Amino acid sequence: MSATLPITLTVNGESVSADVAPRVPLVDFLRETLGLTGTHLGCAHGVCGACTVRVDGAAVRGCLMLAVQADGATVETVEGVSDSGEIADLQDAFHRHNALQCGFCTAGMLMTAAELLDAGGPPPERAEIREHISGNYCRCTGYQSIVDAVEEVAQARAADKGGQA
């Protein structure tokens, strides 16, 4: 049972191969083995959302998925999406709206919000934003500024698209 399994996955655009114990959650693998500490561990229960990362395009709780389950997958963390610049507008909006205080929830919140913003269709209403991020806890902000930031980006992106069409 202490045997390790070899896995190969793409993390933030780079191919990574490692031998991991079957019990190791993806978030621990990212944080401990790869040193990607931007993703946080809040509850290890799948409830708080602090550990949210993107796996094959979907927002996933890094504490509920095992590293071995990510074999062959494409994983993106807050570090990756920061480098690629794809959520620069969302990051900027979080910054300007003070959508963080202690910041511990921020990486997970960004990944979850990015998923909603990427979903396509008309820009989400506030109610939809609230619903979508209600699986991510923030103990500090009261959420108001987070919803404000996401809403602003949703509308800006929709306006951009409208302009191009």
Partner 1 sequence: MSVQKPLPHDAAALHVTGQARYVDDIPVPANTLNLAFGLSERAHAEITGMDLSAVRAAPGVVAVLTAADLPHANDVSPSAHDEPLLADGAVHYLGQPLYLVAAEGHLAARKAARLGRVRYEDRPAVLSIDDAIAANSRFEEGPRIWARGDPEAAIGGAAHRIEGAIEIGGQEHFYLEGQAALALPQEGGDMVVHSSSQHPTEIQHKVADALGVPMHSVRVEVRRMGGGFGGKESQGNALAVACAVAAAATGRPCRMRYDRDDDFTITGKRHDFRIHYRAGVDAEGRIEGIDFVQYARCGWAQDLSLPVADRAMLHADNAYFLPNVRIENHRLRTNTQSATAFRGFGGPQGMVGIERVMDEIAYRLGRDPLEVRRVNFYDPPPGGGLSAPRAPAARPPEDISAKVKAGEDVSAGRRRTPYGMEVEDFILHEMVDRLARTADYAGRRARVAEWNAANAVLKRGIALTPVKFGISFTLTHLNQAGALVHVYQDGSIHMNHGGTEMGQGLFQKVAQVAADAFGVEAARVKITATDTGKVPNTSATAASSGSDLNGMAVRAACDTIRDRLAGMLAEMHQCDPADVVFEAGRVRAGGADYSFEDVIARAYTSRISLSSTGYYRTPDLTWDRIRGEGRPFYYFAYGAAVTEVVIDVLTGEYRILRTDILHDAGRSLNPAIDIGQIEGGFVQGAGWLTTEELVWDGSGRLRTHAPSTYKIPACSDRPRLFNVDLWDGENFKPTIHRSKAVGEPPLMLGISALMALSDAVAACGDGSVYPALDAPATPERVLAAVGRQRGRA
Binding site for ligand FES (CB under 6 A): 41-51, 61, 63, 100-105, 138-141
Can you name the residues that pair with 96 across neighbouring β-strands? none
Q: Measuring CA to CA, how many Å separate 105 from each of 68, 85, 123?
A: 25, 20, 24
- The DSSP secondary structure of 67-124, one letter per residue, reads GGGGTT-EEE-HHHHHHHTTTHHHHHHHHHTT--SS-TTHHHHHHHHHHHHTT-SSPP
Rounded to 10 deg, the angle between the 126-133 and 106-117 helix axes is 130
Nearer Cβ to ligand FES, position 45 or 161?
45
Residue 43 binds partner 1, judged by CB under 8 A: yes
Residue 147 binds partner 1, judged by CB under 8 A: yes
Find the shortest distance in angstroms from Cβ 164 to partner 1.
26
Residue 69 binds partner 1, judged by CB under 8 A: no
Which of ligand FES, partner 1, none does residue 51 bind (CB under 5 to 8 Å by kind)?
A: ligand FES
Name the site residues for partner 1 (rule: CB under 8 A): 2, 23-24, 28, 31, 35-45, 47-48, 50, 77-79, 82, 91-92, 94-96, 98, 100-107, 110, 130-131, 133-147
